[in-house]
Amino acid sequence: MVRTLLIGLDGATFPVLDDLTRADTADGPVMPFLRQLMQGGYRATLRSTPHPLTPPAWVSLMTGRSPGSHGVYDFMRFRDAGDEVFFTLYDARDIKVETIWSIASRQDRSVVSLNFPMMAPPRPINGSLIPGFISWRHLRINTTPDTLYERVKGIRGFNARELAWDFERELKVGEPMSQKELEDWVQTHIPREEQWFRIAEALLSEDQPDLFAVMFDGTDKIQHQVWHVLDPSLAPSQPDEDWLRLRELVCTYFRRLDGYIKRLVDLAGPKAQVFLASDHGFTGSDEVLRINEYLSERGYLTWATVGVSEADRRRAAASFAHLDWEHTKAFCPTPSSNGICIRVAGKPGGPGVPVGEYESFRGKLIDDLYALESVVTGEPMIRDVLLREEVFPGAAMGDAPDLTLVLRDYGFVSVRNLAPVMVPRPMVLGTHHPDGIFVAAGPGIENTREGVMSIMDVAGILLHSLGLNVPENFEGSVPDSLFTVDSLMQRPVLSGPPTLDLTGSAPVHEEEPIPEQEREKILEQLKALGYLEE
């Protein structure tokens, strides 16, 4: 019997969902079942991590811990070796704390987890796990148990290439796109989402785990590229045929997604508690900030000299910092980080800022950042500069950027060696917003609307729904208003032993090193989605 059903909707945001669930349209709501869930259950804004990016946000949701504790801040991590900085990809081995899959498993709850990022290579759980954000070539070796891949291969319509991230198919995204290319982009995600749904449908009906969780990520991918037809505030008063056709195609995706949600809720049964959550919300970005160019103009960094070889040219064009490290004191490592790292000299005379000058150097840098003015609005370009000790406290704080930037339009920065520092975008693009969604329904759930919850609340909510105590070292809490009084009288929210420290523990599979060609495709995919794009 399924106790708890979690449906993740990557990047889902209430402004879009409210528009798609409206009943006052000619054909009724695009998502009638979601409308029913939201009207009959609990609803709250889900505040993401301080930088609302996919890896740290989903990991916080799955662990109940902040990035300062779990250690994941970005898609890419770097190691400063003094005269060079090396970049690699984050994966499950970088997560320093337990996930809810592990916590539930060791307390004899069965689990199915599908398509959540940063889960490869997987650790053992009491159930089944297929990670997200990996290529089809690495799908088999990263599923657990070992027999699961052969099992899902037997599901009607299974296609590993279509199911996994197809890096080749999506390379053109982020470039100027024609109407047909935009339509094709949306169209590719309809069958891919159906692949995940068919696997979810099969495992849910056959296994009936205590905790079943699946994440649909087409919501995020589509919003990045066609925000202009999804944001109600951008709808033209007299839309042309191209806009209407693209809008209808997007609505087709969301209608099918609504059907998938309904089917999974039906399969879970009337006794299951149902939770929908996103890692962050969405909004529109209309301006580019080339942050490393600004730091260069202010004397904080020096660009590397570009050689004549093909490798040198590729490296200079890469979407992470390509700098003269001997003469660089502060830099933004990747666009997706929206962070600035201050290099502290390891020894007197070494590259970076002397230890005793760190505070004064950081203060001047912050002043310079706040001085930036938007070329679009004339307002301050940066609405907030977050200090790592304030927003990322914990054992992993040292891996966080010294400063995290929140732009006026919540956009991602550029790290490219291009001028000018700020330019308007040709059109408004979708970007991440800190406010995501949380919806709950089922027995024992209150029918109410609340204000803002933390993304770190979700893990404790799920464990309580499973009949388990909430670990005392969780950084979120279970809102008093979520469960009915009768439900809480029968089983109050209780604190339990802390989670296990996974630092240094090995996942169940030691993943083979990612070949350089495959690594480049992953970087291109991140670029395509706007995470490594100016």
Q: Coil, helix or strand for 71?
A: coil
Is it the case that residue 327 has pLDDT exceeding 60? Answer: yes
Least confident of 211-220, 299-308, 484-493: 299-308
- Residues near 422 by beta carbon (within 8 Å), at least 6 away in sequence: 287, 288, 289, 290, 372, 374, 375, 381
pLDDT attached to residue 88: 81
For residue 269, give the H/E element and its range. Answer: none
Strands 403-407 and 382-387: what pairing?
antiparallel
Instruction: Give 277's strand partners.
Output: 8, 438
Is it the case that residue 167 has pLDDT exceeding 70? Answer: no
What is the residue extent of each domain of the chain? 4-280+434-524, 287-421
What does pTM read for this prediction?
0.92
The stretches of 106-240 forming alpha helices (DSSP H) are 148-153, 160-163, 179-207, 218-226
The architecture that CATH gives domain 4-280+434-524 is: 3-Layer(aba) Sandwich (3.40)
402-415: pLDDT as tens digits: 999 999 999 999 98
Residue 348's pLDDT band, with cuts at 50, 70 and 90, is: confident
Q: What is the CB neighbour count within 10 angstroms for residue 495?
A: 12
pLDDT attached to residue 309: 57
HEC readout, 165-194: CCCCCCCCECECCCHHHHHHHHHHHHHHHH
pLDDT attached to residue 527: 52
Residue 162's pLDDT band, with cuts at 50, 70 and 90, is: confident
Mean pLDDT over 235-258 rounds to 94
* Range picked from 9-23, 24-38, 498-512 for highest mean pLDDT: 9-23
Is it the case that residue 35 has pLDDT exceeding 90? Answer: yes
Which residue type does 107 have?
Answer: Q
pLDDT attached to residue 178: 82
- Residues near 379 by beta carbon (within 8 Å), at least 6 away in sequence: 373, 408
Measured on CA atoms in the order 493, 275, 284, 334, is the torsion positive or negative? Answer: positive
Contact present, 21 and 31 (Cβ < 8 Å): yes
| Token pair in block for residue 188 | 């590719």
- What is the separation, in whole angstroms, between the first and last Cα of the chain? 48
Mean pLDDT over 384-391 rounds to 98
Alpha carbon of 118 to those of 13, 44, 174, 237: distances in Å? 22, 26, 23, 42
Residue 319's pLDDT band, with cuts at 50, 70 and 90, is: low
Query: How confident is the prediction for the chain on average, in pLDDT?
Result: 89
Instruction: Give 386's strand partners.
Output: 404
Is it the case that residue 511 has pLDDT exceeding 50? Answer: no
